[in-house]
Structure 1
Amino acid sequence: MVSYTMRCRRLVSSTLERGCVWSGPRAGRSLSNRPNRRGVPDLDVMLIWGLALLGISILLLVVELFVPSGGVIALTSGVVGIAGIVCLFLMKESPILWGSAGTLTMLIIFPSAFALWVKILPSTKIGQNMLGDIPEEEHERQREEQQQARDRLLALVGREGTAKTVLRPVGVIEIDGHRYDALAEGVAIEPGRRVRVIEIVNMQIRVRPID
């Protein structure tokens, strides 16, 4: 009787070490799939990682729509999404089902997000710089600034100033406390010599020394 009991205990121990239930309606199932103490089956770690990475990937796509980065965030989102799909395919149970579902989800979301991104991009400053598309208001503002700068330079024609550096032929002059880059005509002009603005050519001040 004692010998029979010992053999039964050894059989149960060896069966449990192999990770299977010894008897009952769930015979042959891995112990890792048995319910925990709360009666809830343990979730596959790869399932958790896969869903988390897919969620992060979708979140990055949303960020890219509102904060265009020239595709950097979108590329990161794609890499994270692929990692999530790989995790789903590495699951212990139903890897094909979960992996295919993850792949299908990304195949739907990514093209839709890309189409929306292309539609929104031209209205952002980054998109305008990338596409070289500047609104008419910006063109008008730039033209006004250029005209104002030209008018300020034209107002200097006939004014006198002092050379602050050697003009050979380009140097710095000072007129009424303001310094300007200038081009000397004819000969080099030494620092401290008086000069007169004779004309403005292509937004450049041209000066001559005062005898």
Structure 2
Amino acid sequence: MTPALLVVLLLVVGLALLAIEVFVIPGVGLVGLLGGAAVVGAVAVAWATLGAAHGLLALGAGACAAGLLFWAFARTRAGQKMVLLETQRSGRGPDARLAALAGKEGRALTPLRPAGTVEIDERAVDVVTDGLYVEAGTPVRVSSVEGNRVVVEPRKP
């Protein structure tokens, strides 16, 4: 067997094993590792016996063929199940009622260390302070509202 035939045989076997790994049994298993090893072996044999030019040619052919396999896999039903095609939103956006709390006053229901709960307009609201510790029962004022983040400060007498 000539070295050129061995290189072609290793490339074909390696790419066939990679195709089986990609299309039949997706994952990183023994078949894919053997296919990758065969392609690397083809490049090594080509480089050692036929020279650097043929080694680079084998490397390029193997890389292009492997790239085409993965490109084709992305268009299969199994490949499309692995790709997120649309943005899925979960959770909620900012509560529009919180913006109306800016400047309002209330009292701390729990200690604010710096997060806790205050009562404003007979409604319990989760709040934070700017790093201050505030005892429960202390009068507070809403200094700012940033999305769902309500910042309070102790009210000045």
TM range (shorter): 0.3 to 0.5
**TM score, norm. by length of structure 2:** 0.44
Larger Rg: 1
TM-score (norm 1): 0.36
- Structure with greater helix share of residues: 1
Structure having the higher strand fraction is 2
